[in-house]
């Protein structure tokens, strides 16, 4: 039966499975495709497609549903190339689907990870040339033939036996595939690694924690750099003109006990700019020096060219897990502006003119437990933000709330599920609350917000379109379209499952689709027409 | 979060959770509700709702999705009472949903069955008065308060320790709740049991295999009746005028070795008519005497009052797992007509004028293996058929195919997963194939058919409506609307999961919905309107 289904669908799609994604395509994407995790190198998650707009979005209906083989919360962003959609599942499964019907074209199953070693999400593929790339739970980069799903090669990103794994969608650019690792929480040092897109050969490797003798090592007391952390578990952005990649770095380890790693702990909780050809550090900006609250700074950096303080600037903006929204100059990492984007923020009274937080003494993890806001989940997290050049707004899902943070002992053991999380934190009476928010890009000022039902466990990214729309998902399963300017809810659909992924859009045969992974389903929506 | 969701939905539905289903309601159902497993006592699965029709069905779109908590193939038929939908999951979970939005009103979790004792499907609830009834994996009938999901009482149908369990949706009538058991395959004798709807007290109990001294016991050689089988695992039909219930009885045990149970093996593979007040056998008709192919006769009996041979007759029709379609007089069980409804049928050359199969010698399970058609899955199975008084057609999903059947030794052990299935059968090269078929009700002659993609693992029932439509689901996940007269496909939707349940329809606030459980989702569809 399975063979028959495959054959049927293969023929229905024909030769369009030939991907042929070039660097030129990636630099200036055809809006009919969705070629990168964050839509494009700028990570604006803004689509020029406008068939679906504020006037007709109420006609949006489900076109098809694809159900992943295992009951897993999908967190991937689908990649679409000429009518073929690629999605991933955490257990190392990649599916190629007919983007018009949801039918399976091929599936690839990475050899099963040993029981108990399943470490969580996979956020999707990169496509370059005729190859599909994804990362694995044992920290490999795998290349498949995009037309058949056949295995081509795999390259080790980092050593799984030491505790590494890899959840991010890779970044493809100019003959290279670049990706990172998890989990710094377990005392592993994060890396960003570039591979040759054709051969899989490692081209360069950058470590998120400097060794003795290297600049920045002096921000780690004693030998604490050795288990320094600094995850690199989300996908970075890229400026082809500057040839710089921008990547957010995770928190230091151990998470909640800063006593054993005195200092600023570079380059944890930083945004780093690396030369795409060499991996050399061009600049860094640290959001949370000496973090004791697990506030990874991996949140997607959004690149915008825009007037700022009287002149056109190449900006990089980030809503950080620590609760502040930052505007940087992405040519040099200079701090331009910062402001809180959540109301519940008690650990810093503001930012210095260099962008360094002004800490409020005593508001950090303690032996007795201290109320710290934002919570350990952060004011936002891996859910993708978006920017619309039409409204000039930056959009995100923000999480309001606090937690008791306890300074716990943490013991790291190579290769195992590592840290002693017991008593690290407790949830107080006040529940966390998720909002969809629109901020003015340059000032960070709140323009509108929408309170979602449900908070923890899930968090969905957002998508803006030239149709004047913002799409967002709720922890409770509603997929919602807003007027991007006003925040008015124009449409919603009950998908039945909590949404933990970021929506995307594409078009095929003159029809625009909006897609989101909801629970274990990928759902595609398009405008109603009777002859569907 | 969960509490909040519950509160939100409770208020949105208000007092409509008050079920108030009376015997009068059940006898003459308001078409806005769907009050019984098979839609009504006649089991015609024909709805008078016609808002969705052959002219507008192309405007059908998903209205909402409800996702069951565990990744289980749902086989239940939703029951809808005044805008509240009740669905079940195999592990003993009952959900009350807002039928307009799919939001959860309440859920009830039957105490977990010990690991390894999960025995499969649950096919839904019955609602009577203000109570919701369902059966359990440890063979109890459970009553809940329909308004709150609170547990009221449970009554033992049969002894789980002996190996019994109960998957069927109960049948509610005139103060009684009637249901059956599984699994006769394991050497347990089937029973049909009636309980007082208010108190749960057992009213009567009918055994599918007669004891020594009772009529029919002489159809079992020696002591073979003791492990006779005769499942009662689907829901019967009812004629209030005759006050007879009609119930299909499962196969004899052991399934494939008839040598140890010579004789016709009554009442296995029979249709039986029981007095609803006393459980006394009024008549029986045996489809497959001395069955050695696992051809349970539990398939839903459909009751139709219609002209036959010149006069109005109270008919009972059944498409049997053995491959023949039967027309009986339901007042007395007299065989009126029979004909094959599958092409692959090699075990009998026809039926005698009494309806007894004329066996072809040698075409039965043997030590070496014998090709027998239909397969062990039968020419049809538990997927519900339908009848439309408009077209005069009987509709079903039929399975074409053969298998090698091996006469295996089977050892029964009380309470355990019992029979030695090793080598019982093997699948030959020819794959099984599922079709949607329309038969003339009185002649059984094929009117149209539609070949579905996929065959095994799944099978979906059908639904006919006054809109001139037939709805059917495919093993591969398509939900399809046909012109009931011509068999033309008018609409379809890719649900993403194989459909193993029967569709149903209801209306609420002047909108007709069509619903089907697809995989682990319940999906509701309605006509598109922009302001949804």
User: CATH number, domain at B21?
Assistant: 2.140.10.10
Tokens of B219: 């159809």
Say if B102 is an interface residue toward chain A (CB within 8 Å).
Answer: yes
Distance CA B136, CA B182 (A): 11
How do strand A131-135 and strand A140-145 relate by DSSP bridges? antiparallel
- In the prediction, which pLDDT does B425 show? 63
* B519 chain-A contacts, CB cut-off 8 A: 67
Q: List, in order, residues 6 or more apart from A471 with CB less than 8 Å away.
A: A462, A463, A464, A465, A479, A480, A481, A482, A503, A505, A514, A516
CB atoms within 10 A of CB B312: 9
Q: How far is B529 from chain A (nearest CA, A)?
A: 7
Geometric angle at alpha carbon B341, from B338 and B347, rounded to 5°: 80
Whether A532 maps to a domain, the answer reads: no
- Check if the beta carbon of residue B494 is closer than 8 Å to that of residue B516: no
- Check if the beta carbon of residue B397 is closer than 8 Å to that of residue B470: no
Q: How far is A119 from chain B (nearest CA, A)?
A: 20
- Check if the beta carbon of residue A56 is closer than 8 Å to that of residue A473: no
- What are the mean pLDDT values of chain B's consecutive 10-residue runs (532 residues total)? 35 50 92 97 98 97 91 89 95 94 95 71 95 96 96 95 92 97 85 98 98 97 94 97 98 89 97 98 98 95 95 97 98 98 97 98 89 92 96 96 80 56 57 93 98 74 98 94 98 93 97 95 93 50
Geometric angle at alpha carbon A103, from A114 and A89, rounded to 5°: 25
What does pTM read for this prediction?
A: 0.89
* B434 chain-A contacts, CB cut-off 8 A: none
- In the prediction, which pLDDT does B432 show? 85
* B454 chain-A contacts, CB cut-off 8 A: 1, 4-5
- In the prediction, which pLDDT does B410 show? 67
CA-based nearest residue in chain A for residue B430:
A1
Distance CA B316, CA B306 (A): 10
Tokens of A449: 């917000």
Tell me whether the omega of the peptide bond preceding residue B267 falls within 30 degrees of 0, making it cis.
Answer: yes
Q: How far is A527 from chain B (nearest CA, A)?
A: 10
Geometric angle at alpha carbon B250, from B248 and B253, rounded to 5°: 160
Distance CA B188, CA B419 (A): 11
Q: List, in order, residues 6 or more apart from B311 with CB less than 8 Å away.
A: none
Distance CA A66, CA A103 (A): 7
Over the stretch A283-333, which tens digit does the pLDDT of each residue have?
Answer: 999 999 999 999 999 999 999 999 998 899 999 999 999 999 999 999 999
Whether A201 maps to a domain, the answer reads: yes
Contact B102 A496 (CB under 8 A): yes
- What 3-state DSSP class applies to A104? strand
Alpha-carbon distances, residue A250 vs A137, A259, A309, A444, B281 (angstroms): 18, 18, 31, 23, 74
Q: List, in order, residues 6 or more apart from B375 with CB less than 8 Å away.
A: B399, B401, B402, B403, B425, B432
- In the prediction, which pLDDT does B456 show? 59
Tokens of B389: 């008084």
Distance CA B225, CA A291 (A): 75
Q: List, in order, residues 6 or more apart from A185 with CB less than 8 Å away.
A: A229, A231, A250, A251, A253, A255, A294, A418, A419
- In the prediction, which pLDDT does A412 show? 67
- Check if the beta carbon of residue B379 is closer than 8 Å to that of residue B372: no
Say if B103 is an interface residue toward chain A (CB within 8 Å).
Answer: yes
- Check if the beta carbon of residue B338 is closer than 8 Å to that of residue B324: yes
Strand ranges (DSSP E) for A146-236? 151-156, 171-173, 176-179, 191-196, 202-207
Distance CA B198, CA B528 (A): 42
Whether B404 maps to a domain, the answer reads: yes
Q: How far is A67 from chain B (nearest CA, A)?
A: 5
CA A200 centroid distance within chain = 23
Count of positions (residues) in chain B: 532
Q: How far is B336 from chain A (nearest CA, A)?
A: 38
Q: How many residue contacts between A and B have a Cβ separation below 8 Å?
A: 94
Cα-Cα-Cα-Cα torsion A342, A344, A347, A349, nearest 10 degrees, comes to: 70
- Judged by phi (left if over 0) then psi (alpha if -120 to 50, else beta), residue A455 lies in alpha
- In the prediction, which pLDDT does A456 show? 59
Catalytic residues of A: 294
Alpha-carbon distances, residue A366 vs A254, A425, B411 (angstroms): 14, 10, 64
Distance CA B34, CA B43 (A): 11
CA-based nearest residue in chain B for residue A492:
B532
* B87 chain-A contacts, CB cut-off 8 A: none
Say if B494 is an interface residue toward chain A (CB within 8 Å).
Answer: yes
- Check if the beta carbon of residue A37 is closer than 8 Å to that of residue A126: yes
Burial (CB count <10 Å: 0-12, 13-18, 19+), residue A211: exposed
For B247-280, letters b (16+ CB in 10 Å) and e give bbbbbbbbbbbbeebebbbbbbbbbbbbebeebe
Whether A363 maps to a domain, the answer reads: yes
* A530 chain-B contacts, CB cut-off 8 A: 58-59, 528
The number of distinct structural domains making up chain B is 1
- In the prediction, which pLDDT does B481 show? 98
Q: Which of B58, B455, B530 sits opposite A530 (nearest CB)?
A: B58
In chain B, positions 430-489, which contact chain A (CB-CB < 8 Å)? 431, 453-457, 475-477
Contact B58 A531 (CB under 8 A): yes
Contact A494 B519 (CB under 8 A): no
Distance CA B122, CA B135 (A): 8
Measuring CA to CA, which residue among B496, B486, B489, B532 is closest to residue B513? B532
* B64 chain-A contacts, CB cut-off 8 A: 493-494, 496
- What 3-state DSSP class applies to A27? helix
Q: Which of B5, B61, B496 sits opposite A528 (nearest CB)?
A: B61
CA-based nearest residue in chain A for residue B458:
A1
Geometric angle at alpha carbon A323, from A317 and A326, rounded to 5°: 20
Query: What parts of chain A have a pLDDT lower than 50?
Result: 1-17, 417-419, 421-423, 532
Residue A31 belongs to what domain range?
Answer: 2-527
Interface predicted TM-score (ipTM) over 0.90: no
What is the secondary structure of A50-95 as a DSSP string? -SS-TTTGGGEEEEEEEE-SS-----PPPEEETTEEEEEETTTEEE
Q: Which residues pair with B19 in a beta bridge?
A: none
Contact B530 A59 (CB under 8 A): yes
* A103 chain-B contacts, CB cut-off 8 A: 494
Whether A220 maps to a domain, the answer reads: yes
- Check if the beta carbon of residue A97 is closer than 8 Å to that of residue A65: no
- Check if the beta carbon of residue A177 is closer than 8 Å to that of residue A166: no
In chain A, positions 67-96, which contact chain B (CB-CB < 8 Å)? 67, 70-71
Place of tokens 């309601």: B25
Tokens of B530: 């922009």
* Helix extents (H) in A381-495: none
- In the prediction, which pLDDT does A3 show? 33
Tell me whether the omega of the peptide bond preceding residue B183 falls within 30 degrees of 0, making it cis.
Answer: yes
* A497 chain-B contacts, CB cut-off 8 A: 65, 67
Say if B151 is an interface residue toward chain A (CB within 8 Å).
Answer: no
Say if A493 is an interface residue toward chain B (CB within 8 Å).
Answer: yes
Q: How far is A146 from chain B (nearest CA, A)?
A: 22
For A120-142, letters b (16+ CB in 10 Å) and e give ebbbbbbbbbbbbbbbbbbbbbb
Compute φ and ψ for B219, nearest 5 degrees: -90, 10
Helix or strand holding residue A387 (H, E)? strand A386-388
Whether A477 maps to a domain, the answer reads: yes
- In the prediction, which pLDDT does A362 show? 93
Whether A314 maps to a domain, the answer reads: yes
Whether B532 maps to a domain, the answer reads: no
Over the stretch B272-321, which tens digit does the pLDDT of each residue have?
Answer: 999 999 999 999 999 999 999 999 999 999 999 999 988 999 999 999 99
Q: List, in order, residues 6 or more apart from A116 with CB less than 8 Å away.
A: A417
Contact B1 A455 (CB under 8 A): yes
Tell me whether the omega of the peptide bond preceding residue A267 falls within 30 degrees of 0, making it cis.
Answer: yes
Distance CA B202, CA B195 (A): 4
- In the prediction, which pLDDT does A455 show? 60
């Amino acid at each position: 039966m399975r063979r028959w289904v495959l054959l049927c669908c293969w023929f229905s799609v024909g030769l369009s499975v030939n991907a042929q994604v070039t660097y030129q395509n990636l630099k200036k994407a055809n809006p009919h495709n969705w070629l990168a995790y964050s839509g494009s190198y700028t990570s604006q998650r803004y689509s020029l497609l406008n068939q679906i707009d504020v006037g007709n979005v109420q006609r949006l209906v489900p076109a098809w549903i694809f159900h992943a083989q295992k009951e897993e919360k999908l967190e991937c962003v689908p990649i679409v190339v000429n009518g073929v959609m690629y999605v991933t599942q955490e257990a190392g499964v990649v599916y190629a689907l007919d983007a018009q019907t949801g039918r399976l074209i091929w599936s690839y199953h990475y050899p099963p990870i040993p029981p108990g070693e399943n470490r969580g999400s996979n956020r999707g593929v990169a496509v370059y040339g005729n190859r599909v790339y994804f990362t694995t739970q044992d920290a490999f980069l795998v290349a498949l033939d995009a037309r058949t799903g056949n295995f081509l090669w795999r390259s080790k990103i980092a050593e799984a036996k030491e505790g590494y794994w890899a959840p991010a969608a890779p970044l493809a650019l100019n003959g290279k595939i670049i990706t990172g690792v998890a989990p710094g929480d377990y005392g592993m040092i994060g890396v960003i690694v570039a591979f040759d897109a054709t051969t899989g050969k490692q081209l360069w490797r950058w470590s998120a924690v400097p060794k003795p003798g290297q600049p920045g090592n002096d921000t780690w007391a004693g030998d604490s750099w050795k288990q320094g952390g600094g995850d690199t578990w989300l996908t970075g952005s890229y400026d082809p003109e500057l040839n710089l990649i921008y990547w957010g770095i995770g928190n230091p380890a151990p998470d909640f006990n800063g006593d054993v790693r005195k200092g600023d702990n570079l380059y944890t909780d930083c945004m780093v700019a690396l030369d795409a050809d060499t991996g050399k550090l061009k600049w860094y900006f640290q959001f949370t020096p000496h973090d004791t609250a697990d506030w990874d700074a991996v949140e997607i950096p959004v690149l915008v060219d825009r007037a700022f303080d009287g002149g056109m600037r190449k900006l990089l903006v980030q809503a950080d897990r620590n609760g502040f929204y930052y505007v940087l100059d992405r040519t040099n990492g200079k701090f331009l502006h910062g402001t809180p984007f959540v109301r519940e923020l008690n650990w810093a009274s503001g930012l210095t003119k260099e962008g360094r937080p002004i800490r409020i003494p005593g508001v950090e993890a303690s032996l007795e437990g201290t109320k710290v806001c934002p919570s350990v989940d952060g004011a936002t997290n891996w859910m993708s933000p978006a920017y619309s050049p039409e409204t000039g707004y930056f959009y995100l899902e923000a999480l309001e709330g606090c937690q008791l943070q306890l300074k716990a002992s943490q013991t790291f053991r190579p290769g195992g599920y590592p840290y002693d999380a017991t008593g690290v934190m407790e949830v107080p009476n006040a529940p966390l609350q998720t909002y969809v928010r629109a901020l003015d890009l340059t000032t960070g000022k709140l323009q509108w917000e929408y309170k979602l039902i449900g908070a923890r466990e899930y968090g969905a990214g957002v998508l803006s379109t030239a149709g004047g729309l913002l799409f967002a998902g709720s922890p409770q399963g509603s997929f919602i379209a807003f007027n991007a300017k006003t925040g008015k809810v124009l449409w919603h659909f009950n998908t039945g499952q909590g949404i933990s992924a970021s929506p995307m859009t594409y078009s095929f045969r003159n029809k625009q689709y909006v897609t989101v992974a909801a629970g274990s389903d990928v759902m595609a929506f398009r405008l109603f027409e009777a002859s569907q």
